[in-house]
Amino acid sequence: MFLVPLTALSRGARAFAAIAAGFAAVSSGAMSGSAPTFPEVVASAEQIAQITVTGTHAQWDTTPTGQRVIHTYVTGAVRRVLKGDVAAPFELRFLGGKVDGTELRVPDMPQFEVGADYFVFVTGNGRSICPLAGAAHGSFRIVRDAEGAARVAQHDGSPLPASPAVAAATATDSVAALAPNLSPEDFRTAIQRQLNRSPDAHAN
């Protein structure tokens, strides 16, 4: 069951719970804690892009059933498109957020830092509670090492675990088992190689 801790119960807590349960019902697996494989993340993504986050904001939205719910919107400048069609301006919608004194908190929902660079594997944007393939497993942050070189890290900025290089990923390789000290160029190459293994994949 998908659980959503809520604060500020005086403003629509019951509606929040109903909406969260409804989103979970139509978005099974979106917030699964198990790490998908790298090929699964690449294959399931409708769009893959390298972005710089330019802003985030939360707002009340009205659902098709007429109930109100909080969404957080993450906007970004697109640096590279590796799969699919990416519209400008680029925007991702996440269930949850805080507006004034009311908060809807979704466990393990990825958070983005303005000004930071990410690779995002997008699926179900505007339809799912989280628009990333495998939730946080579908986002990788670009950080700088001690020498100033750009490296790909996990979404929260922590280093990728030591393992065989992602460029050699197979169907059994977990996203959580990508190589450390991987450059953005090598990561893009790994994505492209995986796309080339899928005859129905379309990369830009």
Q: What is the pLDDT of residues 29-76, one digit of tens each?
A: 445 557 788 888 999 999 999 999 999 999 999 988 898 999 999 999
The kind and range of the H/E element at 191 are helix 184-196
Whether 42 is in a domain gets the answer yes
Sequential DSSP letters for 40-52:
HHHHH-SEEEEEE
Whether 91 is in a domain gets the answer yes
Report the mean per-residue pLDDT for the chain.
79
Number of domains present in the structure of the chain: 1
Among 79-88, 98-107, 166-175, where is mean pLDDT lowest? 166-175
Q: pTM of the entire structure?
A: 0.79
Query: At residue 84, what is the residue type?
Result: G
How far apart are the C-alpha atoms of 104 and 78, rounded to whole Å? 28
Whether 3 is in a domain gets the answer no
How far apart are the C-alpha atoms of 53 and 75, rounded to whole Å? 6
Whether 102 is in a domain gets the answer yes
Residue-number span of the structural domain to which 63 is assigned: 13-196
Whether 162 is in a domain gets the answer yes
Tokens of 54: 């330019």
- For residue 51, give every residue at least 6 positions away whose Cβ sits within 8 Å of its Cβ, in sequence order, or none: 76, 77, 78, 79, 90, 117, 118, 120
Residue 37 DSSP class: B
